[in-house]
Amino acid sequence: MKKYILLTIFCLILAACQPGQAVVSNSKPRTDNTVATAQLPPAIQTVVQQTFTTSTPQPLPTATPNSVVAPATALQGSAQGSVTGKIPAFDHIVMIALENEDYEAIIGNPQMPNVNALAQQYVLLSNYFAVTHPSLPNYIALMSGDTQNIHSDCNDCFVNATNIADLITASGRTWKSYEEDMPSACFIGDSKLYAQKHNPLLYFDSVRLNTALCDKSIVPLTQLDSDLASSQLPNFSFVMPNLCNSGHDCAPDKSDTWIHDMVAKLQASPALGTNSLIVIVYDEGAKDNKGSCCGMGSKAGGKVAAILISPLAKPAFNDDTEYSHYSLLKTILTAWNLPALGMTQNPATLPIVAPWVQK
C-alpha cells in the first residue's frame, strides 16, 4: 500500500511539471458533394486558453530564399502569439467584403449558387463571427484590430490609430482599397450607390491626411482592371462592391453574380499569381444576431460566412474552428510577420492555420 501511495504521488508530481498543450479544434476536409454539409452543427470545440510566456523567446527559423511560408511561431508580443503551424507568406491577398447576412442565409441558399460553389470547392470557415453591429465598426476592426470606439455608421468619426495599411507600407509592401462607384480617389462622403462607411481605410488619419497616399491608394474599383492588366496588383487589396452588389440593398442573386465575375477575373489574371489568397467575408449578421466567440464577450456581430480561395489551401475543406474578424486580421499579420494590432494580441484570437497545405 505504501508503495502504491508513493507511486501515485510521484506520478502526480511528474504530471504537474509537464507544460500544458493547446488543443486546436478538429478541422476536417469535406468529403461530401453537397453544400448542405456546411449547415450541420459544428463539432464540439475545446476551449483553448493560450497565454503569452514571459520566458526568453526562441529565434525564428531561418527562411530559405524561395520559401513561400512564414513561420507561425513567433517572438513574444507579435501578431502570432503562441500559434504552431505555418501560414503562407502570400504575394497577394485580396479581401472582398459583402453585407449584412447571417451564415445560414448564405450557405445553402439556392439564390446564391456561385458563392456556395466557392464554399464547397475551396475553404469554408463554418464557425466565423463578426465583431459587432453595425457595419463600420466591423470594417474598422478588420483593419486595426479594434472598433476604435465607433458604434455607428458615421462619416466624420475619423481615427488616429495604427492600421494594417501602416504596417504593410512599413514592411515595403503595397496596398489599395478599390471601391465600386466611388466618384474619385480619396473621395469624402457618400454618392449614390457608394457609401463611405464601407471604405474603412479612409477613416484613418495616417491614410486620409496623406493626400498623395490617399489619392494613390483609395481608388474607384474601375482602377482594378488597369492594375491587373499592367501587373500592378498590390500585395493587399480591399475590394468593396456598391450598395447593391454587396447585398446591402439588393437581392442575394445580385451579389452572387458579382462575386462570380470578380473571382473569375482575379483568377484569370497572371497578376494575382499562384502564391495568393482571395477572402470573401460578410461584415456582420442580421442586426438581431448577437452571436459571439473567441473572447469577444457575450454579444458580438453574429455568425457570418467566410470563404478562402487559394492554391495553397486544401480543396473542399471545412474549418469549423471558432474565428472572428480579428482572426482574419491576425492571419494576414502572421503571414507577413507584421506586428500585432489590438485584439490580435488576445490569446483567444486564433489565426487561421488549419487550411494551408504544408510544404
pLDDT digits (tens, 9 = 90+) for 147-172: 999 999 999 999 999 999 999 999 99
How many domains is the chain partitioned into structurally?
Answer: 1
In the predicted model, is pLDDT for residue 28 greater than 90? Answer: no
C-alpha to C-alpha distance for 38 and 97, rounded to whole angstroms: 20
Look at residues 112, 131, 105 and name the one whose alpha carbon lies nearest to residue 39: 105
pLDDT digits (tens, 9 = 90+) for 31-78: 333 333 333 233 322 222 222 222 222 232 222 222 223 323 332 233
53 domain residue, yes or no:
no
DSSP secondary structure code for residue 194 in this structure: B
Look at residue 359 in the predicted model and tell me its pLDDT.
66
14 domain residue, yes or no:
no
Look at residue 358 in the predicted model and tell me its pLDDT.
77
C-alpha to C-alpha distance for 199 and 331, rounded to whole angstroms: 21
What is the SS3 assignment for 282?
strand
55 domain residue, yes or no:
no
Look at residue 276 in the predicted model and tell me its pLDDT.
98
pLDDT digits (tens, 9 = 90+) for 302-329: 999 999 999 999 999 999 999 999 999 9
252 domain residue, yes or no:
yes
Angle at 143 between CA 214 and CA 299, to 5 degrees: 145
Look at residue 217 in the predicted model and tell me its pLDDT.
98
350 domain residue, yes or no:
no
In the predicted model, is pLDDT for residue 25 greater than 70? Answer: no
What mean pLDDT comes out for the span 231-241? Answer: 98
Domain, as residue range, for 266 = 90-345
**Number of other residues whose CB lies within 10 A of the CB of residue 323:** 24
72 domain residue, yes or no:
no
pLDDT digits (tens, 9 = 90+) for 71-99: 233 322 334 433 446 999 999 999 999 99
| Cell 475553404 belongs to residue | 123
First to last CA, the chain: 53
**What CATH number is associated with residue 321?**
3.40.720.10
211 domain residue, yes or no:
yes
159: Cβ–Cβ under 8 A, 6 or more apart, which residues?
Answer: 140, 144, 148, 150, 203, 204, 205
118 domain residue, yes or no:
yes
